[in-house]
Structure 1
Amino acid sequence: MTLAEQTQAHAARLVRLTADTFEDHVVGLAEVLTACVLDGASVSFVDPFSPTDALRFWRGKVLPGVVAGDVDLIVALVGDEVAGTVQLAADTPANQPQRADVRKLLVHPKHRRKGIARSLMLEAEACAAARSRSLLTLDTRTGDAGEQLYLDLGYQVIGHIPAYALDPRKQRFEGCTLMYKQLAQLPG
């Protein structure tokens, strides 16, 4: 990361949302998700996608995990504006207590190339360590800029699945890259 990127990333303040602070930022989360989908991000949604759809996702799919304590929802704030977000989901099966999933790394298009995604990922890793989760898994669109970020952060490619998901504009199927990172050596 260049010095300019580090300076800009420091302008973003990282906050872990709780059930009590979620509503304070849900509109900003919806704006980020909507902007990313409309910009072509492959994050499970297709166009047309509205702020109402985004609010439904955050309140219906993410908030229950936050309330249950199974999901760390991290946001990057620039001033009072949500510039980006990532989730660390620790709601894994009983036989996988060492693992967590990284979900929905999103940075608003106007805040990209400022080190925010990297900062969010490092914070997700810190949350994993605090939960004693030493193995992180994620998936990303094959060839996407996020794939290179994850490689730069030390994630390893497990494999590629062709034609995994429909692109956001419903024009073609795109491949998916599965990745992992081991934060600490496990016994056995």
Structure 2
Amino acid sequence: MGIELLPLAQGPARPEDTLVHELADVLRDCVDGGASVGFGRPLALDRALDWWRTSLCAPATRTWVARGGAGRIEGCVQLSLAGQDNARHRAEVAKLLVHRRSRGSGHAAALMGALEQHARHVGRTRLLLDTQTGSVAERVYERWGWVRVGVVPDYAADPDGVLAPTTFMTKDLR
């Protein structure tokens, strides 16, 4: 199975766009599976669609998708470029999501590879992210060379509303 990475054009996304619906499906699946990515469960389809419509229009955010062999979106990742004059060297990684049916297929690593390559290309040498402490994602980021900066107790609620610690991580791309 091949992986196709598509930098998405920024602009208005119509509610009927297949792309937005596929992204909403991935987001809902991840939240239903327990991923702490800013939403409670169950995540309503309308809420997921609205979030993606807004997110895809954010001017300083770039989004990539990974498509599986059937051509449908199996994963995504976002890079938000810091815009302050003293922060033009950094960016934040968000919403690295892979549908449960495709976990272990290399989508996440391919998405992060494309994101890091783009970040370097646009002069971003410091990446930041946060993830739920003790999660599978935290261990994966550590394997990929991310460094733990610190842990904040009770930083965010998990999809069931339980407060959980969050680990902040960084990666130097130089």
Query: What TM-score bracket applies, with the shorter chain setting the length?
Result: over 0.9
Per the alignment, residue 172 of structure 2 pairs with 182
Q: By percentage of residues, which structure has more helix? A: 1
What count of residue pairs does the alignment treat as equivalent? 170
* The 10-residue stretch of structure 1 (29-38 or 85-94) with the greater mean CA deviation from structure 2: 85-94
Contact 1:88 1:127 in 2 (8 A): no
Q: For 2:72 and 2:79, how far apart are their aligned partners in 1? A: 21
Contact 2:150 2:167 in 1 (8 A): yes
Per the alignment, residue 32 of structure 1 pairs with 26
Per the alignment, residue 104 of structure 1 pairs with 95
SS of alignment partner, residue 48 of structure 2: helix
Please give the root-mean-square deviation of Cα atoms over the aligned residues, in Å.
1.5
What TM-score, normalized to structure 2?
0.92
Per the alignment, residue 4 of structure 1 pairs with none
Per the alignment, residue 58 of structure 1 pairs with 52
* Equivalences for residues 86-105 of structure 1 within 5 A: 86-105=77-96
Identity of aligned residues (%): 36
Deviation (angstroms), 1:163: 1.1
Please, which of 75, 90, 93 is the counterpart of residue 65 of structure 2?
Answer: 75
Per the alignment, residue 14 of structure 1 pairs with 5
Deviation (angstroms), 1:48: 2.8
Structure 1 unmatched runs, 5+: 1-7
Q: For 1:31 and 1:110, how far apart are their aligned partners in 2? A: 12
Please, which of 125, 129, 134 is the counterpart of residue 116 of structure 2?
Answer: 125
Q: For 1:124 and 1:21, how far apart are their aligned partners in 2? A: 22
SS of alignment partner, residue 138 of structure 1: strand
